[in-house]
Amino acid sequence: MATKLTVPISEDEIRALRVGDQVLLSGVIFTGRDTAHKYMIDNFVKGTCPASEKEFYELLKKELHGSAIYHCGPVVKKHDNGKYEFVAAGPTTSIREEPYQADVIGHFGVRAVIGKGGMRDKTLKGCAEHGAVYLHAIGGAAPLIAESVKEVVDVYKLDFGVPEAFWKIRVEDFPCVVTMDSHGESLHVKVLAESEKKLKELLAG
């Protein structure tokens, strides 16, 4: 049975999750890919926030706390009334954010990261330290996932390009699986280790 999580998510709710648990996520979350993560690190986490970016920084500090970042480059339709709609919202490969993710989680109080392919030791350590999880979304099901996006609330840094912008979205029963938890467990590490073991056996044979 899936665990229902609603933003803002508490640390206790995250600590109760274990790898393999199914999750249905609801609430307001943000998309963020390579450009967005580098921007947050350079301007907010490790750099001095420029005066021109202070308002956006305060918004992220408030709204990412207890929320989730979705590694997604959506296909977006803009309607005549100016409203946006996600046509496809499949996950993108998360490993590109490995250099940044743990620092972003710690600085902004992010409780969940959503993507595909998993992440590595730095992010896993950050999840354990700060009380966060990695949620694996269903690759190849972009239109299906888009049905979970009930509203595009806003968009920031659209000058980064549609896939790289910060899209603020409201999701309802977004389906995910915990593949990295806050207790140091990672299904991705286990799968990699088993694959390497099998490869050595095949090569030896």
Q: How many residues are there in the chain?
A: 205
> Which ranges of the chain does DSSP label H, i.e. alpha helix?
11-15, 34-40, 54-63, 98-108, 121-130, 142-146, 187-204
First to last CA, the chain: 42
Nearest to 61 by CA among 111, 110, 128, 12: 110
Instruction: Provide Rg for the chain, Cα atoms.
Output: 17
Annotated catalytic residue within 37, 71, 130, 188: 37
71 is catalytic: no
Show which residues are catalytic.
Answer: 37
